[in-house]
Chains A and B, each alone.
Chain A
């Protein structure tokens, strides 16, 4: 399921998120949005602009700066019949509410013998590229994929941002929607209808025959650029966007690698212990005999995100990083 090119209307990513929330709140009175500066200010990223005017302060709720309190508010509300969207402004701030998210929200269903239902969406903003330095730029999605009970989605563009947000809010589990600052201005065709992209289903963004790149979130457009460059080397690259990181669509990735025999995973998060390690492990477990080269990984180096634009441009992976790593894997000179 890819954005229909016939849908003439193009929408920036940030407005796609905004439209998703607006339409979801129109659809279901149990949906509300709470977070720091989401109401009067419309969120520092603009995802909730105009919502206060349409839905009022009961449903668009400015909170104190109190991430654990906000997360608990969402958990208690979800457990008692509401369908909250909790905005944690920067993904880095998730560290402040880890108990509520990891020990409470993720485990309630299981610990209580299945009786709890927790339709809770956590919306947050990850990633670098804006010189926001070490405490406002992290990509921590791997942490949350490690916790049974949580689901994690990472949209790669405006179309995915809307459709995955809708699926997240309609899901009866805690779902973390990891948007990335670098993508907020990117436009794509976005249907005006309220559509849903199913969770747990990967998308083959670009079909190819002899190399697979699994790219997460903002690395999808970079991987597509890399694929164009690598075509000059005679590679026909297939680019897969998992869209949902937990549950992960291993089947689509493995089927691709069985066809292409070579693979690389690209994400913006630190490479060590990142999702790339898990995906590479699954590929070798399921398709070892089909592999003609080691499974490559592209990720950020092992340091905090730097501030200086010069340093950050060397930190966040790009299409060039991907091209270089693919060529290295195949034993070719850049």
Chain B
């Protein structure tokens, strides 16, 4: 059964890897990580504006502040590696290489969207990219990610699945069942806990009696690792180890990334709220995963300030182009309402 507690549970050290560690990551990868984060940030900020302006229907759960987690994990994955996501799923798909036009078209509920306008923000998916869906049910993803991992092992591929979930979802029974099965069968899976400190609007200390979700890993017989989820290189390094371990057939890891949601659970606002202080938000914003990373890249001589600004500008252009495409694309025809409830048999019947 492997080596439980290989990384320790509660005693696992929080990551404190400095710039010297970053030298082990290639310059190319550092820029890749930066680019992934910027794409998520700008995608989400623009989506938030559109939502507030009433141009996008329904609810949006924005990923701003947590970009280092998706970027650091997804940089290790290929298309055939699967992920399950959460209600806060745009960032995961952007980081996995999702097409921005199809993503925005879906947020607008248009025919050209990833889900032909039938899923929306909470069900955005790209199975060809191994993105098995954002999920409107907290805790809905872990059992499905276990199924994908089972499938990878059964089919003898070298692929892994990564299950993104929050501190809130770690209280769902599905997480417990999934973690137990994954460890029991030594499945190639990484449970990536995005601990942003809140289950919806309830602070972590009011929804669970532990501080570190990673504490739970040992009880399933898997290592639990804690990293600074605002530090993309820390996430990248730790995810790399966990994913490599899974690929080697050594079983699952619970990787807890301590992060923070700059906006609200749903929508944009985020400040002036009863459930957290503005001071707390500002403190976390000082640790903005993109701004702090850009400072480090600048110090390392990898990315000058004007170069970073040019990247933001280019991504913003790409995002706005995707928005224009989406908003100008047609809505689904009402005749498709009953299509795709079932997969039709080859003969056309069901």
Contacts and interface: CB of A to CB of B under 8 A. Distances in A.
The answer to whether A and B come from one shared complex is yes
Interface of A: 32, 58-59, 63-64, 66, 68-82, 84, 99-100, 103-104, 107-118, 148-149, 151, 171-173, 199-200, 247
Interface stretch (B44-52, B146-154, B317-325): B146-154
A59 to B, nearest CB: 8
* Interchain residue pairs A-B with the least CB separation, the first 10: A72-B143, A76-B147, A69-B177, A114-B340, A113-B116, A113-B115, A66-B177, A172-B343, A111-B123, A80-B151
A172 B117 CA distance: 23
A81 B137 contact: no
17 contacts: A72-B143, A72-B144, A74-B147, A76-B132, A76-B146, A76-B149, A77-B147, A80-B151, A81-B155, A99-B174, A100-B143, A103-B137, A109-B343, A115-B126, A115-B128, A200-B350, A247-B350
Contacts of A113: 113-119, 340
A68 B174 contact: yes
B181 A64 contact: yes
A71 B123 contact: no
Nearest to B130: A80
B199 interface: no
B137 A73 contact: no
Nearest to A72: B143
Contacts of B350: 173, 199-200, 247
B174 A79 contact: no
B57 interface: no
Contacts of A112: 114-115, 118-119, 123, 125, 127, 133
B174 A109 contact: no
Interface residues of B, number: 50
Interface of B: 82, 84, 113-119, 123, 125-128, 132-133, 135-137, 139-140, 142-152, 154-155, 161, 173-174, 177-178, 180-181, 184, 339-343, 345, 349-350
A69 B190 CA distance: 16
A59 B349 CA distance: 30
Given A58-B154, A72-B174, A112-B133, A173 B342 contact: yes
A108 B132 CA distance: 9
Nearest to B138: A99
A69 B146 contact: yes
Contacts of B161: 76
A72 B345 contact: no
Contacts of B184: 64
A73 B146 contact: yes
Contact of B148 (A66, A71, A80, A108): A80
A81 B155 CA distance: 9
Contacts of B174: 68-69, 72, 99-100
